[in-house]
Chains A and B, each alone.
Chain A
């Protein structure tokens, strides 16, 4: 029986391959949507993991998180001068590092901070820390070698307006990879950023005049401390957020979008599936003389049913499997592209529950195939004798 099925598939391989490809493409669409949404969720959660609590001036919570953790450039209101000192003196704070941004070199943002930030981000991979006033520490994804000197541009990557000619940094060390957007950042001492911007225009996000800061990242001593600090710093002057909290809200929106995309791709799958079943049923009816001949030779209805069912299920099953592979590679491709632009790694991974999805798709394909199989086995053996 299998020999007959394989010979039949070999003979009709173009049609079979086209059907499998259709199934694969429609499966790949929904697989890619699911994997990519998950990658985005996992990747952003991992990227936010080292940052427990972010404190900024009152404004948009989302923008504060996007700017300080994902280093997405946007002008932020500035914190008052004394907040950093207050936090550093607070016994509930294990570490508080300022984040001063707005400069860049090439495609990489330059972030002013304190030496503690190195420890917070997991330590150095090579080289030295901030030993001199104009030392710079590169993130692991920054392509400049140690020893490179640069003058920062005023403005974020791609939007830089002028070069700060009065300062020259030298890359002395490199952070170990963190999987966060900070892998693409170049850290410099916050004091040097303030100095550079003393002469610059007033009121931008660097905190000119004299020491304003757009954000402070805080590592609290305990979880209880974290909640207390968050509570205490939600005032008229400051805004404290858990990045995880903001991300959860974003995921809610993302989840809705995913729901719509998944529904659309499932709709596509149903339409493609129905079209394929029609094609298969027509094909089976066109071959009623051949099927009739098999019946005439003594192949029973169950055997014909099994032949048609196995053959169509093999084609659809191959499409479903290939579609999962295709969806995975599409998600990988999109993730790679996004990682390069956003700087956070987006891990594409299958999970146990995806096996259920795969099994369900198989089951639906196998059940739907019962229809053409039934049409096939209804053929009369007498058909073979009709000229």
Chain B
């Protein structure tokens, strides 16, 4: 499992006087459950971009275990992310025209040619645990709650060490949101991965070990 260490991180965008994100020092132990809270524009998305390697900081370092993300090329960061990060997003980003199972396996299939038997078995097992009864069902015929559960299974299928969720319950009704929050925390706990969820949802925040609050690009707690 991986420990996150952020040191002297600063992200600036052209035309903005203030840095979009500024974190002097932050350490998160492996296996922690962290909620990332804060108003819109507080730097949550930028924070996620940095810790998933989608973007590189202007200065400072982001280190997961022994891997210094800020020093990797884009290609290496893509590879690292495919291996280590499971993503759950507000808009699900499932691909219509494909079954639930194919969607769960898509990141694995796009990361390497051919597919070993193990991920397929794990995909079916995860779909069963997330309550999707027909893995062959096309995703566009699922309810929104079911879609997000498929997305949770997709995030977990590669046994990632880090799960990043961006407002995973924001576009769901209360019941589905609760179910997804429970599933996300339970399944992540089973795998021992670190989970970090950007959220406004109190039900999800309550399930976490620690809350990081961002305001104007700086951590306030």
Contact = CB atoms under 8 A, between A and B. Distances in A.
A327 to B, nearest CB: 32
Interface in A340-387: 380-382, 384-387
Contacts of B123: none
Interface of B is mostly: helix
B96 interface: yes
Interface stretch (A7-15, A95-103, A313-321): A7-15
Interface string B85-115: 1010111010111100010001101110100
Q: How large is the interface on A (under 10, 10 to 19, 20 to 34, 35 or more residues)?
A: 20 to 34
A290 B96 CA distance: 11
Contacts of B106: 4, 297
B2 interface: no
Contacts of A386: 45
Contacts of B87: 296-297
B109 A3 contact: yes
Contact of A298 (B91, B102, B111, B167): B111
Contacts of B74: 301
A384 B89 contact: yes
A261 interface: no
Interface of A is mostly: helix
B83 interface: yes
A380 B52 CA distance: 13
Contacts of A118: none
Interface string B162-190: 00001100000000000000000000000
B55 A382 contact: yes
A299 interface: yes
Nearest to B46: A382
A294 interface: yes
Interface in A1-25: 1, 3-4, 7-8, 10-11
Among the interface residues A1, A295, A380, A385, which one has the most CB atoms of the partner chain B within 10 A?
A385
Nearest to A13: B97
A294 B93 CA distance: 9
A49 interface: no
Contact of A381 (B54, B83, B102): B54
A295 B102 CA distance: 17
Given A387-B90, A387-B91, 8 more contacts: A4-B95, A289-B93, A298-B81, A298-B82, A299-B82, A301-B74, A382-B49, A384-B93
29 contacts: A3-B109, A4-B95, A4-B106, A7-B98, A11-B96, A11-B97, A290-B93, A290-B95, A293-B89, A294-B110, A295-B78, A296-B52, A296-B54, A296-B87, A296-B89, A296-B93, A297-B107, A297-B154, A298-B82, A298-B107, A299-B82, A300-B78, A300-B79, A301-B78, A381-B81, A382-B54, A385-B45, A385-B89, A387-B90
